[in-house]
Amino acid sequence: MSKFLTASIGKKFIMSITGIFLMMFILVHLTINLLLIFDDTGELFNKGAHFMATNPVIKIVEPLLGLGFMIHILWSFVISYQNWRARPIRYAKSNPGESSTWASRNMLILGALVLVFLVTHIINFFWIIKFAPDSMESINGTNMENTYKLVSELFIESIPYCIVYIIGAILLGLHLTHGFWSAFQTLGLNNKNWMKRLEWIAKIYAVIVAVGFSVIPLYFMLVK
């Protein structure tokens, strides 16, 4: 097993499994977030966020998710460093744009920028909701953090934050234009017929993520 984890394909396997797990999380996260713009009283979103924070399955998934992020990020630096070392002398003149997409060559840069966003995001919301709730609300008798208030106030008050969130969403989308189909290729779940299909599904998924997460700050910035 240790041999598997240090082999090139083994390391890629880890990236792919954690990546797919993170992509599933992103979809759930987006679905809940979109409740923000479909109910201006915030009740729907608060209920959704409260449910996501308290249901028993989340208790198991949340630490797994943290672990998934850590492994994906740590591994990405290890892999990138090792791949970089495989070419000690660089080319003087190189035309990589002729044969591959920019996103596919810059997964680490895109990932690292997403990471910067992720840290901001955790400080802005996750941390406050979890450890320093400052505004509570009671819906149907249950006390819960007024997450709607937290999110909507941040976006309404600060245009720079809105822009940071939109850029974050676009960067993640770019990461996934390549990451999505690449994850299946890595697992061996691809062939001649599925190649084009997976690339298309990747594009659609990436656009949904980028547009979906951008719409929310845009809504508060422009409509509210």
Partner 1 sequence: MADKILKKLNIKVWRQNRASEKGKFETYTIENISTGSSFLEMLDILNNDLIEKGIDPIAFDHDCREGICGTCSLYINGRPHGPDTEITTCQLHMRKFKEGETIVIEPWRAKAFPVVKDLVVNRTAFDKILQAGGFISVNTGGVPDGNAIPVGYDDAEEAMDAAACIGCGACVAACKNSSAMLFVAAKVSHLAKLPQGKVEAKRRARNMIAKMDELGFGGCTNTGACEVECPKSISISNISRLNREYLVARFSE
Size of the site for partner 1 (CB under 8 A): 45
Choices 52-60, 95-103, 203-211, 212-220; region in contact with partner 1 by CB under 8 A: 95-103
71, interface contact from ligand HEM, partner 1, none, CB < 5-8 Å by kind = none
Cβ closer to ligand HEM: 148 or 180? 180
Cβ closer to ligand HEM: 111 or 217? 111
Rg of the chain in Å (alpha carbons)? 20
**16 Cβ contact list (under 8 Å, min separation 6):** 182, 183, 184, 186, 187
Q: Extract the tokens encoding 85.
A: 């070392």
Closest C-alpha to 155, from 43, 33, 51, 54 = 33
94, interface contact from ligand HEM, partner 1, none, CB < 5-8 Å by kind = partner 1
Let me know if 210 is exposed, middle or buried by CB neighbors in 10 A (0-12, 13-18, 19+): buried
Residue 74 interacting with partner 1 (CB under 8 A): no
| Nearest approach, Cβ of residue 207 and partner 1 (Å) | 20
Work out the angle at residue 121's Cα, subtended by the Cα atoms of residues 119 and 124, and round it to the nearest 5 degrees: 110
Residue 120 interacting with partner 1 (CB under 8 A): no
11-40 binders of partner 1 (CB under 8 A) = 11-13
Q: Tell me the C-alpha distance between 177 and 26, whole Å.
A: 14
Considering only 38, 41, 98, 223, the residue that binds partner 1 (CB under 8 A) is 98
